[in-house]
Structure 1
Amino acid sequence: MTECNDLFRKRIGMAEDKTLTMSSLGELLEKTACTFPFENARILKGTTLPLTKENLVSKLLKEQEGGVCYELNPLLYFFLLENGFDVQLVRGEVFVEAKEDWTHLGRTHVAIILEQNGVSWLVDTGFGGNVPLRPVPLTGETVSSGNGQFRVKQAATEYGNYLLEMKVNRKQSDWQIGYTFDTTRPVNEVAELNEVQEIIETDDNSPFNKNPLAVKLTNRGSKTLSDSSYTEWIDGKQKKSDIDKEEFRTLAKEQFGIEF
């Protein structure tokens, strides 16, 4: 096997000889979400790297950092390819619930489409605390996981032809749009995503180039760090604390393994 496969399995704690199948992808996605933090440290520090397989392996596996959707999902894409899955990357646009509108950043969300036995599935490990933790079929069927309920339905929008809808635990009691994505315009080369990275780094409307953020799921809930607060969900109960700069740096290192 390759360096990517070996290091990925080692980081998430998956046996090197385990054969992956559709039925084991739930376990893979859970381990991945509980290992890689969704975080923007390099964006804020101005130390991002061009998006290549080598740089993703270096950052996420060798340096053991986290990242955002256009890093986490391409790495998972390469891992799935090496384990015999038929996958491709797609781009989409996130829906902002507070504004009831799209981000209008131009297809800056990156996800994976997996084909298996004539059925297409959405796979996503780069949507912060909203990841499905299971492949979601593009048939409209609802999928349930420890993080909530998710479904994909066909719908024409200005940014895509499908919608991911979700009812995330502790957040939504009714169905909410997560994002739209476009299966008619797959990503042919990971280098195409450098355009996405540039937008996220430089656009005034980007949600990731202003304030620090780190999110990671846990076996019992989730943990979220901002520059002013630290929130844990454990067995359905929330614990939120206001923090100062020193506490922020300590928590970033101790809870997420990153330095802002």
Structure 2
Amino acid sequence: MLHYPVAPSSDSGDFDAVASDGAFLPRYLARIGYAATVAPTMEVLAALQAAHIAAIPFEGIDALTGAGVDIGADAVDAKLIGQRRGGYCFEQNGLFLRVLKAIGFDAEGLIGRVRWMLPEDAPPTPRTHMVVRVMLDGRPWLTDVGFGATVPPQPLAMDSEESQSTRHETYRIVRTGDVWQVAASIEGEWRTLYRLDHVSPPAIDYEIGNWYTSAHPDSHFRRQLIAARTTAEARYGLRDNRLTTRLTDGRIDRRYLTADEIERALAEIFLLPVRPHWRAAIERAATAEIAG
């Protein structure tokens, strides 16, 4: 029998800019439950990444309901911090980049092509995934708080092709020319997550990627209810009506949920303030047939 976490009670377009003079930083730290001193060190970077993915869920409900996704700093702060919502990569990593820069990290955004669940010879996908590259003592580190149920739970060295173990999966980053390929070992098989461009892109590339992800009919966020959250003990993933729990001890639980159970899972497992207008999408998700 697997036990799920219960949500705690609440106490309350430019990724390269620090919003409002950094005044958002204390509110962000309170949002993720981080009370220690902040400084541009590896220890702090790893702690912030782990706290973020445990506190702020991955979700694309605004894309699914047609509400649209605004990735401007004010909108992201209002949604992810003020409203205690989640978001996807452009929101999550855009916020995380501003946080790191406000603390004093040497950080920049990168963009890449998602390859998750695709055969290696599949045609190129659009650039729809944002991550953050951090330089520490001359070494580049990949940080990512916005890749759903396989998000790296800690910084990954980008200058090594050796396997990198984490509390959850083992990861590997291989560079070919100006492209980094990031993969995770899933049930004994290396599976590519995404391929990243070497150069930090202009802001318009994030805007175009966000438009595709939130509005294009081929985007899976327009067709599926998706949520994910990673803690020190487990990964939780919801795809339409299928809830998957992967514990660090290797146990995996998969179950199908009714509409009421989906709504309860969004609130109790994914820590989301469920809104009445989500109900229609939740009911559609409850009737979905998921392959694989």
TM-score in same-fold range (> 0.5)? yes
Q: CA deviation at 1:258?
A: 4.1
- Give per-residue Cα distances to partners, 1:216-239, cap 9 Å, x unaligned: 112311112233222223343222
- Name the counterpart of 1:217: 230
Which residue of 121, 124, 131 corresponds with 2:144? 124
Q: Are 1:114 and 2:134 matched, yes or no?
A: yes
Determine if the alignment matches structure 1 residue 65 to structure 2 residue 65.
no
Which structure shows the bigger proportion of residues in strand conformation?
1
Query: Take 2:108 and 2:38, find their aligned partners in 1: how far apart are those partners?
Result: 23
TM-score (norm 2): 0.79
1:18 Cα deviation after fit: 3.6
Q: How many residues align?
A: 252
Corresponding residue to 1:50 among 60, 67, 70: 70
Q: Partner of 1:96: helix, strand, or coil?
A: coil
Residues 180-218 of structure 1: CA deviation (Å, up to 9, x unaligned): 10122x1333x5422111101233332211010111112
Q: Does 1:250 align with 2:246?
A: no
Of 168, 192, 198, 1:183 maps to 198
**Aligned equivalents of 1:204 and 1:150: distance in 2?**
31
Q: Which runs of 5+ in 1 are unaligned?
A: none
By how many angstroms is 1:101 displaced?
A: 4.6
For residue 243 of structure 2, the aligned residue among 216, 226, 230 is 230
Match of 2:210 among 186, 197, 215: 197
Q: Please, what is the CA RMSD of the aligned residues?
A: 2.0
Cα distance in 2, alignment partners of residues 223 and 231 from structure 1 = 6
Structure 2 Cα separation of the partners of residues 197 and 151 of structure 1: 26
Amino acid at match of 2:251: K
Q: Percent identity?
A: 24
Do the aligned partners of residues 61 and 161 (structure 1) sit closer, same or farther apart at CA in structure 2, a change above 3 Å counting? same
Give the TM-score normalised by structure 1: 0.88
- What's the CA shift string for 1:82-122, capped at 9, x where partnerless? 01001111110011334445574421111111112222111
CA–CA distance in 2 between the matches of 1:86 and 1:233?
A: 33
